[in-house]
Amino acid sequence: MNNQSHHCHRIREKNLKPAITPHRIWLLSALLFSFTPWNMTLARETALYLDDKQPVAARANDLLARLTLEEKISLVHANSNFSTAGVPRLGIPELIMDDGPLGVREEVDDHFHALGHVDDFATGMPGALGLAATWDTNLARAFGTVIGQEAVQRGKDIMLGPAVNIQRTPLCGRNFEYMGEDPFLTSRMAVNYIEGEQAQGVSSCIKHFAANNQEFERGSINEIIDERTLREIYLPAFRAAVEEAGVLCVMSAYNQINGQYCSENAHLLKDILKDDWGFPGLVMSDWGAVHHTDLTVFNGLDIEMGTKAPYENNYLAAPFLEGLQNGKYPVAALDEMVRRHLYVMFKLNLIYDPSNPPAARPEPTTPLSTKAHQATAQQIAEAAFVLLKNNNNFLPLDIAHIPTIAVIGGNATAQFCHSGGSANIKVPFEVTALAGISNYIGDKAKIVYAEGYYPPGNRGQPGHKPDGNVATAADSSQLVDQAVAVAKSADVVIYVGGLNRRGGFDCEGSDRKDIELPAGQDRLLKQIVRANPRTVVVLIGGGAVEMDKSWLSPVPALLYAWYPGIEGGNALARVLFGDVNPSGKLPCTFPKRLADTPATALDAYPGEKGTVVYREGLLVGYRWYDTKDIEPLFPFGYGLSYTHFAYTNLNLVQNGGATGLPLAVEFELANTGNRAGAEVAEIYVQPVHPGVFRPVKELKGFAKVFLQPGERQKVSVTLGENAFAYYDVGTRSWVAEKGEYKILVGRSSRDIPLTGDFQLAQTIYQPERVSQVAQSAR
């Protein structure tokens, strides 16, 4: 090109008029072609940030250098409820986000009012606590896959989930969208959820970092948590998401920890997340969780979301820009935020060549919620149901011997997906319990229904009658009488009650006041069981409830169904009538009474004068009940089956050198019943003579095994250094202390058929901070 240009210039200088020859015609054509705009575009050097062969970090730095100060600012705060601005001149699109952890939320305006679209129906997945009850990592991956695929079809870049806060108290209103009380189980489920979702080309945003364990005063409550408890109980799922799943986004929580809001907490966001774990992605605030410009700029947040419009006045908008311009804030702080924003966009392949912008996304031609996605939701619900009681094999029910079935309870006709706060989903349909049972039975038996009670309204307000009027005591009494009459007329009663996803129960923004069954259900159940002892109780809800002995003792069968999602009723019917053998196990302890729970027993909830002290420390959930020898109603990890399993032949195989680690925990599991089924074998580690305080035992492994009748299988679960380690605050490292350990293989935390001994020969120290090599590899 240079030679040709020089030659042409030289001809013009001499004002030559060469003869027109075929050769010169060809040369002239070539010269003219070399100056066409198309060829000049080809010749222009491609910007480094557009070269997908370059490392992401290099591309982000190159693009960062091309942005103006004002453009950078536009990338660190919202420009609508669920997006940040784009920079079209450089090929940066808007970054589009959406709730949530249980599916893709419908389109809403800046005030969260539904826009009434007809193309934003989505699959309502079961509650995440139900997902955890499956103890099935493959289903966790499938769960994330469904949400990821629907998010991509809806044009979302970041999905705000999963939510992995640990269940500290059964009163927390958001427990239904969390994954239980144990950090190991939560970690395993979260990692697979994220890997399934992010494999679809959308980013997960794990939340809420950290310890959003109560909704009461969540926007201001100051939680006093010691460092060891924070690291061992409340942070492991976030760490696993970063280091194992490669999660791209983290959402900070509303609450304060040790005197600093989580969105402005340098210890959480900088020391732990970004420095110790080497997190390369972006940290966004929960919606409206930013309180100051100064603390936000310096303490590790990258994007401010949810602060009210006008967005140009948000803390990281005009005030930040002004501080940059007058020298109050270093540009390097802004660059670090933007660099992380761009890193995520490159990882998602969102940056485009501005000279060739992508075509508009085509309108969907197929339903967002497909039959395949609905089938996945149903499969997860079926695997989540926990059989808590089944005297004399009362379940499964045999239709051939049940002419009349009474279905009783307000939750039998209730729908739950489109409620609960940010986890709500607009579904194309939702199969209720009554509809699912009716679908299954058809004309094989007669079904009679009675409501039994009026489901309570928001924050425990009295329920409403179908005509919209508030139900009186007389109205409620009439419903009870009708239910008792229906129970007496039937051969079997299926009672469907429990909680709901309204404020004051299982819902964002408020906690439960107690763990009693609302709306007088204990009294109702007592009368129903007295009228017809052949009663199956099905409870729907987001965690533990107290159960009165007056009905629990005589009732032959009890099933906990969580919030079962879009196909919940069909899933329930298949379990009740034996097409599916229940295999769920509790991801949270069900106490006999609220007073037995650690936070309540220690007067450590909900706090006083804006502060709550985590006095129980490490003793959360079963760690509390087992260490303090308090008998629960149903223990962590508990769940029955329609068949029986035998555990035998435990063998501990040391595969390492001097330490003996990793340790293979090998045993045989046999299905000794006459139905195919799945058993979750749980591995607990118990230090015998610890040098520091330790819970009596902790879950460190599990395996879900499917077996045919009479089938026997050898199971092996590997325990590494982490299974034996505690966090040492002084050295900022994880310490696996030498000494004797019991390896416990159980059906639950309280049912341990196999026990083995292991001697860790030497103490192992694992620094918390990841190596620079590991960080750069991301």
The H-or-E segment that residue 740 falls in is strand 739-746
Structure token pair of residue 2:
């240079």
Cα separation of 624 and 108, whole Å? Answer: 42
Q: Are 541 and 501 in contact (CB under 8 A)?
A: no
Amino acid identity, position 299: N
Contacts (Cβ under 8 Å, ≥6 apart) of 435? 569
Half-sphere exposure of 425 (CA within 13 A, CB side): 29
Q: Are 456 and 502 in contact (CB under 8 A)?
A: yes
Chain Cα centroid distance, residue 562: 15
Contacts (Cβ under 8 Å, ≥6 apart) of 156? 96, 97, 98, 104, 202
Q: How many other β-carbons are positioned within 10 Å of the β-carbon of residue 28?
A: 13
The residue among 274, 217, 212, 267 whose CA lies nearest residue 242 is 274
Can you name the residues that pair with 685 across neighbouring β-strands?
698, 743
Cα separation of 238 and 249, whole Å? Answer: 11
Backbone angles phi, psi at 97, to 5 degrees: -120, 165
**Which pairing describes strands 158-160 and 203-209: parallel, antiparallel, or unpaired?**
parallel
Contacts (Cβ under 8 Å, ≥6 apart) of 263? 252, 253, 285, 286, 289, 290, 291, 296, 301
Amino acid identity, position 199: A
Cα separation of 778 and 774, whole Å? Answer: 7
The residue among 187, 272, 180 whose CA lies nearest residue 225 is 272
Based on the residue annotation, tell me whether 286 is a catalytic residue of this protein: yes
Please confirm whether the linkage preceding 291 is cis (ω < 30° from 0).
no
Q: How many other β-carbons are positioned within 10 Å of the β-carbon of residue 739?
A: 17
Contacts (Cβ under 8 Å, ≥6 apart) of 303? 75, 76, 77, 78, 84, 282, 283, 284, 285, 316, 337, 341
Q: Are 585 and 680 in contact (CB under 8 A)?
A: yes
Angle (deg, nearest 10), helices 331-347 and 56-66 = 130
Q: 98, 157, 286, 626: which is the annotated catalytic residue?
A: 286
Catalytic positions, written as ranges: 286
